Structure 1
């Protein structure tokens, strides 16, 4: 019998091919979507920085510097799967985070 080194199961989600939802899952999502935000329990949601980094600016300044940066493989793979100019999108996310932190610090 083969032995496992770990009990960790890794799964990859392709954003272009989301998993099919069951009727029960769809019903739960519909019920949640119809609830007011005040009634939704967010206690198990991971905390995020006070940044709207998902809405990173598309127009970026052209004053960039080339550096060497170590990025988690999963993060790099995610951005590479989004297509050409993935490095610009990574920069946009980081820029948005920085701007949010500057605003939050004031």
Structure 2
């Protein structure tokens, strides 16, 4: 996202949009998404937005959740400090 994206003001009438029911929305200009469309589509997730699933023991998660902070951020911080303390200077 560029600086210009953050400075643009939306011209959408959000109050009018939020007051509409699904039946009031005009979809006539939107082409249908067919099976053929999805067969040719490619899902691209930027590396900095990718999520990684790992298995952590329930008691470990419970301990992190009991801390007075965002537990996922805390887990990331602990792992980062572990890597840094073991001499890996290649972290981004």
TM-score, scaled to structure 2: 0.39
TM-score (norm 1): 0.34
Higher RCO structure (Cα 8 Å, ≥6 apart): 1
Structure index of larger Rg: 2
